[in-house]
Structure 1
């Protein structure tokens, strides 16, 4: 049987991509080497404990964020190298991050993908990949001894050690700096010493953080710069984590066996290309860097939302020529920038210098705070489109301010949740100046009152929320027809 798209990896990126493909009407299989986490697991295979504004924006856009709210809470803080910022000053963006264990986000996305009809196959690990002009063949190891799956496309969302990337022959250049990190979840009593150290703190010897995960459970994280990892395999023991906390922060704790633990490292790599024939990469399989501020997750989730509708358009037969090539052209520069900003944060974390105090003073300036909040939150991304000209509209390549995605326009929220493109008309002119009839199967026409912070009276939005055409002060020029054709293909005959 030939499937439309096969995804390797059921982490947040792979699951988000599966949801995007199902919204586009694409049949999809997700292969995950690990066995399925137990429902409600607090931490299995997921070190992250929060999501930033960029991820919130994407989840709001697809109507998933409401399902996640019961699993966490808002907190109006962000940081650059653990120098605290104030997202609440950004009125037109989400003025908070959201605390949620990534395993619970995975569980919500798993439920979402299944409800949309994705075929999730746990315990299925990619063992080999071959392809020809029209298909990809994936050899897998499975509980029943192995199998072969064939698809029109394969997307590797299988992490930094991606078997898909290696099989496709895509280089992954970069470097690893001497560093060793541990993370583990510990059951604690209310009077445990770890509860006195909640939060993240930097020391000359490294990093120490304690985060609440569930009633009676805390996550302990350590990071030591300039040291070689004692091991690259296997989880750290409780004694190893306790010794690291003692070396870094001079804190003694004797809590019992962790329910889960892992090692982490300071590796920065960027895939040489994001596509090899019918094989694509997304998330950590395409880019990896020091984990700070949720940038890895937001960059990967944006990969998924960018690629999903384009693959769907190709398989549906209406994709304009070269649409799939725009995936690498748009996303690889963003990942390269994320790698650079992560390196810059590491430089501020170790060694500790007076420069941190100076940066902490500078971030009090509103413009600096906004710049850093949007950068670490993944909401500053702007794609450069061919033909933008010397003075493109400032909204081109961006998402419109978050207030619209938060429900200010119910019709827009419905269109976005369904994964469609949108022509949004917020002008006072109701004479039907725009006609999207030829693209009605791909684009929704939504009329609304003017939106705060939207410097346009009409915008054309791709399914990933990016503005590809904008009119200001009623001056639409030739209208959006050219942009509709460029991004949504030829109109259907009436």
Structure 2
């Protein structure tokens, strides 16, 4: 084997997966057809859940000062993200090229082998592994192959993954431009001819997005010329931007598709390779990063022989449902953003509903990734299957955060009642989990963990077992998520 895992695609999802695999001690090669990072801004921020995930790995300081905001939207209707239960806001003005640079630096530091200028052309799977072929260079051999190669995934196509859904009906243009001072326009800004929005980025750069109503999408082989974007902008928004200097120009549609299987044998898909949709709120990249964090520790456990291959089935079970919900909310937002006059009654009704704090929290959690709960078995504990709240803890007289416990990418048994018997039961899994005794620090932490004596955290930060309130015992939960104890 050249590597236990080969990842195709060195975008945010592939790089995050490479770091997760190396954190868990698994060798990985990442192949990308480009000779260098594209440097394009593309996605420009993180949802609240992604901020939490990056915090769990200790990565936030690597981004420098991140500007956070608590103003969000659902199809252009404003959301107050400050109502949500998180210590983080949404990150603003973090271009994708910065995200890729940070994640690549992290993955390389951990020992990931990232090879650029290597174009993947095909694979053959057999009973013991996967043979990967390249346009130039010898074939490579691995135990598992993961396609993180975007919405036009070659891995998905060659692997024969079914990719049902709806085709694009509208084409949208995006351009990051310099040299003009434009007034902000929200995502919900409608005109008689379509939709046009403006957001100020940094260093005098503005991002514009425009869609002309009634114009079908074109089958393009590359990005549009800026002159075409400026013409559409003038027809829709009524102003001339042709003198601006384009930094990056792109076109995209509102197609919505999702593979029926995230795993086929030894081949898996993550990120845009598994799901495409209207990029409302930048949820695509964020969902891809979270796909990688869900998959990485599971794949490493199987590769290292610590867990059976069936653990990988939970990747599909958990993340396919997340992707389905993602497509539902982005299609709903597309109807609001691109529906024109037909969508006015819907916008009015939904706008009235969003006067309720409960509705604000529900939709805010949905677009922020905070509503995700996985099936961890039967139980009545409110945290079972949900993400671990970011709280302060007192550990042997020293303050620490719950996110800090997950920096190593290992599972955590959090003993909140100094229970020696509980800790002794977990000892056979010490090579895979950290056993931590701590108490909540502060009223907020005490409230979040009211009447809780212990929690088992998976490496992705979701609660796999809690006491009291879980029907399964600790040993059953440890066996299920971390394999047989030693």
Same fold (TM over 0.5): yes
Residue 193 of structure 1 and its aligned partner are, at CA, apart by 4.0
Query: Residues 241 and 229 from structure 1, CA distance in 2 versus in 1: closer, same or farther, beyond 3 angstroms?
Result: same
Residue 135 of structure 1 and its aligned partner are, at CA, apart by 1.1
Q: Which residue of 1 aligns with 2:253?
A: 265
SS of 1:344's equivalent? helix
Alignment of 1:90-109 (within 5 A): 90-109=84-103
Alignment of 1:433-448 (within 5 A): 433-435=422-424, 436-448=426-438
Judge conservation of contact 2:56–2:404 (CA < 8 Å) in 1.
no
Which of 78, 81, 86 in structure 2 is aligned with 1:84?
Answer: 78
Alignment of 1:129-278 (within 5 A): 129-141=123-135, 145-188=136-179, 192-194=180-182, 196-197=183-184, 199-204=186-191, 205-278=193-266
How many residue pairs were aligned?
472
Query: Quick check: 102-111 or 479-488, which moved more?
Result: 479-488
Query: Residues 215 and 37 from structure 1, CA distance in 2 versus in 1: closer, same or farther, beyond 3 angstroms?
Result: same
Q: Which residue of 2 aligns with 1:54?
A: 49
Query: Quick check: 482-491 or 155-164, which moved more?
Result: 482-491
Q: Give me the whole-angstrom Cα distance separating, in 2, the residues matched to 1:147 and 1:199.
A: 50
SS of 1:324's equivalent? helix
Which of 456, 459, 469 in structure 1 is aligned with 2:455?
Answer: 459
SS of 1:16's equivalent? helix
Residue 431 of structure 1 and its aligned partner are, at CA, apart by 4.5
Alignment of 1:328-407 (within 5 A): 328-349=316-337, 350-351=339-340, 352-385=343-376, 388-389=377-378, 391-403=379-391
Judge conservation of contact 2:75–2:187 (CA < 8 Å) in 1.
no
Judge conservation of contact 1:198–1:212 (CA < 8 Å) in 2.
no
Q: Which residue of 1 aligns with 2:314?
A: 326
SS of 1:31's equivalent? strand
Q: Which residue of 2 aligns with 1:16?
A: 16
Post-superposition Cα deviations, 1:380-430, rounded to whole Å, max 9, x if no partner, equal: 111123xx33x542212111123369x996374444111000011223x45
Judge conservation of contact 2:56–2:405 (CA < 8 Å) in 1.
no
Judge conservation of contact 2:168–2:217 (CA < 8 Å) in 1.
no
Residue 96 of structure 1 and its aligned partner are, at CA, apart by 3.7
Residue 209 of structure 1 and its aligned partner are, at CA, apart by 2.3
Judge conservation of contact 1:266–1:290 (CA < 8 Å) in 2.
yes
Residue 285 of structure 1 and its aligned partner are, at CA, apart by 0.5
Residue 471 of structure 1 and its aligned partner are, at CA, apart by 0.6
Post-superposition Cα deviations, 1:250-282, rounded to whole Å, max 9, x if no partner, equal: 121233441321111111111021112211000
Query: Residues 176 and 93 from structure 1, CA distance in 2 versus in 1: closer, same or farther, beyond 3 angstroms?
Result: farther
Q: Give me the whole-angstrom Cα distance separating, in 1, the residues matched to 2:208 and 2:138.
A: 40
SS of 1:74's equivalent? strand
Q: Which residue of 2 aligns with 1:300?
A: 288
Q: Give me the whole-angstrom Cα distance separating, in 2, the residues matched to 1:373 and 1:379.
A: 8
Query: Quick check: 317-326 or 374-383, which moved more?
Result: 317-326
SS of 2:221's equivalent? coil
Residue 313 of structure 1 and its aligned partner are, at CA, apart by 0.3
SS of 2:346's equivalent? helix
Residue 314 of structure 1 and its aligned partner are, at CA, apart by 0.7
Q: CA RMSD in A?
A: 2.2
Q: Give me the whole-angstrom Cα distance separating, in 1, the residues matched to 2:89 and 2:181.
A: 32
Q: Give me the whole-angstrom Cα distance separating, in 1, the residues matched to 2:205 and 2:84.
A: 33
Judge conservation of contact 1:175–1:267 (CA < 8 Å) in 2.
yes
Query: Residues 447 and 160 from structure 1, CA distance in 2 versus in 1: closer, same or farther, beyond 3 angstroms?
Result: same
Q: Give me the whole-angstrom Cα distance separating, in 2, the residues matched to 1:399 and 1:182.
A: 36
Judge conservation of contact 1:77–1:97 (CA < 8 Å) in 2.
no
Q: Which residue of 2 aligns with 1:120?
A: 114
**TM-score, normalised relative to structure 2:** 0.91
Instruction: Note if 1:426 corresponds to 2:416.
Output: yes
**TM-score, normalised relative to structure 1:** 0.90
Query: Quick check: 310-319 or 451-460, which moved more?
Result: 451-460
Q: Give me the whole-angstrom Cα distance separating, in 2, the residues matched to 1:370 and 1:256.
A: 39
Q: Give me the whole-angstrom Cα distance separating, in 2, the residues matched to 1:203 and 1:485.
A: 54
Post-superposition Cα deviations, 1:429-477, rounded to whole Å, max 9, x if no partner, equal: 45554222211110111122122413422110111111111013xx788
Q: Give me the whole-angstrom Cα distance separating, in 1, the residues matched to 2:81 and 2:16.
A: 25
Query: Residues 69 and 75 from structure 1, CA distance in 2 versus in 1: closer, same or farther, beyond 3 angstroms?
Result: farther
Q: Give me the whole-angstrom Cα distance separating, in 2, the residues matched to 1:110 and 1:480.
A: 36
Q: Give me the whole-angstrom Cα distance separating, in 2, the residues matched to 1:363 and 1:106.
A: 35
Residue 90 of structure 1 and its aligned partner are, at CA, apart by 2.2
Q: Which residue of 2 aligns with 1:489?
A: 483
Q: Give me the whole-angstrom Cα distance separating, in 1, the residues matched to 2:286 and 2:178.
A: 30
SS of 2:382's equivalent? coil
Q: Could you tell me which runs of 5 or more consecutive residues in structure 2 were left unpaired when the two chains were aligned.
A: none
